[in-house]
């Protein structure tokens, strides 16, 4: 989770952040610096406008450096992490149950948990089970639509006209070597664990999400218009939302860059329709609330290297069962690897997962827009 902390490293849930809020006092309004959340993790806001301003204030503090996303190492037990890394460094064999094997399995578990909460591919696409020894397939909710599937992990995509109820995405492995150079072994345990965690996240979740975003940009103009704008307005929001609704699809999710939030929080019509979140934990997972029955998400509350949206960018998406899906043939597996025998002074792990992707099985389910400079 993208835990928000202040300059001194105190989490927002422990009073680390204070925001300027407008609170009623004897019939008047007065600005005061209150703790971001109460003891139950609920925002200290008294109405929707106030909460929208609080969320905007957190974004401002992240931008100015008064707040930041905690490094992953803060979320692990320091002693346990130190013991694990020490055992890994002392393991020269890499056999099952050894230090390097346990280290790799721990990283894999952490990536799976993070991907489940923050990954776009797993959040906005439907997971379509694959029976053993069978070919995976993704349902198409509407006949005679143009579908887009990934054929290689280097961003090559293919489009095809679907005239049946299913498409069959090609099997696509996403693999990487996660290594430790010989001169890197002297790093402090928490730093080493954090570095490899972020590297593996970038090689898997971010790689997936960048590919998914790219496919959405390619598919968006197939049936729907692509929008450019100077400011996001309620009228433009409704127009983009209707691009999906007119095909008898529900516009369930909206993914937008954080800089567009100022357009939402400063316009009365937006605020009148805004259905806010109440807990900090939801904000740290990227949820901003609802507008006109669509859930709003952003990637502004995760580790900076894991963000994939461009500034001023926004996607309107239909529900996962009508937008697209993925098949999982093999979950993420991390195994020890040694590169010394091929003349490379490094050892580490080989990470691999195998999936099939159809990020826009129904290209009518995505509408894309971005702010022009």
- 3-class SS string, 78-125: HHHHHHHHHHHHHCCCCCCCCHHHHHHHHHHHHHHHHHHHHCHHHHHC
Q: Give the model's pLDDT for residue 73.
A: 57
Q: What is the pLDDT of residue 179?
A: 87
pTM: 0.88
Give which of 45, 19, 57, 48 is closest to 269, Cα–Cα: 48
The rounded average pLDDT for each run of 10 residues, N- to C-terminus, in the chain (373 residues) is 80 80 46 73 85 87 85 68 86 88 91 86 92 87 68 62 73 89 74 85 91 93 96 97 95 96 93 91 91 94 86 96 94 91 89 93 95 87
pLDDT the model gives residue 243: 98
Q: Are 118 and 286 in contact (CB under 8 A)?
A: yes
pLDDT at 326: 94
- Alpha helix ranges (H) inside the chain: 48-64, 78-90, 99-118, 120-124, 189-203, 205-223, 234-245, 261-265, 268-273, 280-284, 320-323
Q: How far apart are the first and last CA of the chain?
A: 32
pLDDT of residue 168: 87
Q: How far apart are CA 83 and CA 162, in angstroms?
A: 53
Tens digits of residue pLDDT in 306-351: 889 999 999 999 999 999 999 999 999 999 998 888 888 888 899 9
Interatomic CA distance for residues 130 and 126, integer angstroms: 13
């Amino acid at each position: 989770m993208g835990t928000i902390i202040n300059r001194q490293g105190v989490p927002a849930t422990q009073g680390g952040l204070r925001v300027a809020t407008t609170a009623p006092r004897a019939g008047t309004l007065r600005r005061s610096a209150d703790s971001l959340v109460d003891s139950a993790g609920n925002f200290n806001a008294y109405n929707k406008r106030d909460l929208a301003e609080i969320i905007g204030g957190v974004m401002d503090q992240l931008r100015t450096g008064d707040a930041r996303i905690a490094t992953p190492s803060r979320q692990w037990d320091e002693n346990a992490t130190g013991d694990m890394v020490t055992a890994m460094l002392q393991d020269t064999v890499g056999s099952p149950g050894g230090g390097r094997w346990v280290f790799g399995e721990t990283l894999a578990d952490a990536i799976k948990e993070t991907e489940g909460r923050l990954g776009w591919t797993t959040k906005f696409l439907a997971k379509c089970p694959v029976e053993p020894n069978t070919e995976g397939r993704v349902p198409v909710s509407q006949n005679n639509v143009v579908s887009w599937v990934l054929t290689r992990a280097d961003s090559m995509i293919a489009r095809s006209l679907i005239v049946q109820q299913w498409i069959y995405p090609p099997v696509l492995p996403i693999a990487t070597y996660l290594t430790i150079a010989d001169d890197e072994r002297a790093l402090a345990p928490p730093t080493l664990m954090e570095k490899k965690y972020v590297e593996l996240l970038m090689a898997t979740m971010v790689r997936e999400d960048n590919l998914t975003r790219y496919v959405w940009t390619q598919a968006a103009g197939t049936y729907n218009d692509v929008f450019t704008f100077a400011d996001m307005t309620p009228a433009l929001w409704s127009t983009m939302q209707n691009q999906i609704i007119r095909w008898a699809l529900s516009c369930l999710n909206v993914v937008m860059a954080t800089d567009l939030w100022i357009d939402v929080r400063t316009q009365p019509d937006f605020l009148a329709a805004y259905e806010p979140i109440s807990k900090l934990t939801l904000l740290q997972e990227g949820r901003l609330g609802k507008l006109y029955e669509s859930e709003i998400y952003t990637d502004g509350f995760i580790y900076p290297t894991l963000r994939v949206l461009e500034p001023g960018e926004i996607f309107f998406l239909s529900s996962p069962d009508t937008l697209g899906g993925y098949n999982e043939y093999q979950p993420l597996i991390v195994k020890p690897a040694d590169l010394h025998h091929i003349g490379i002074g490094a050892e580490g792990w080989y990470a691999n997962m195998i999936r099939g992707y159809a990020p826009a099985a129904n290209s009518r389910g995505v509408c894309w827009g971005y702010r022009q400079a």
